[in-house]
Amino acid sequence: MNSEKSGYSGLQIGLHWTIAVLVLFQLLFGESMTTYVDAAADVRQLSSYEQTMESAHYWVGLSILLLVFVRPAVRLFVGAPKAQSTMPKWMAFASRTTHVLFYCLLVAVPVSGLLAFYVWGWMGDIHGWAKPVFIVLICVHAGAALFHHFVLKDAVLRKMLIPARDPAR
């Protein structure tokens, strides 16, 4: 593992933004599963659009779950840049806490969705509660990245936009 990296690899950046886009899709179109569950309870046929969106929600959720487990494996083999030593302790703590919460949600939400779909319907309520939490975390995360870029004028945001160069080349 390379602990002296100046930034993230293209693969790490790609995984980050792929998961971000997939989560955004789920937040915008996630109500499709509620439509499916309600239609099943009412013994009502779904339109082809509703069926497609329900299926997309299911498969995008599984994709997120899979990719969340790929990220730490890639990090283990590729490494990651060290946190800025000039960052105040409270800011480093907030960053770590936000990232841990993201990872917990990125695992718990698809798992609770699967449990709601296959085992316990009541898990759907827990699954649904994640949406506002995700929205708050995304706002905090994006706000912090923009604060780093425009106010602190450091490289935190650039590290997740521009792949690090391999010093061996």
Tell me the whole-structure pTM to 2 decimals: 0.86
How far are the Cα atoms of 83, 104, 119 from residue 168, in angstroms, in the given order?
22, 35, 51
Residue 3 has a pLDDT of 45
Residue 50 has pLDDT above 80, yes or no: yes
Taking the domains of the chain in order of start, what are their residue ranges? 10-159
The closest of 103, 122, 102, 101 to 112, measured between CA atoms, is 122
pLDDT single digits (tens) 60-110 = 999 999 999 999 999 999 888 777 777 788 988 998 899 999 999 999 999
The closest of 165, 166, 162 to 14, measured between CA atoms, is 162
Percent of the chain at pLDDT above 70? 93
What is the rounded CA–CA span in Å between residue 31 and residue 28?
8
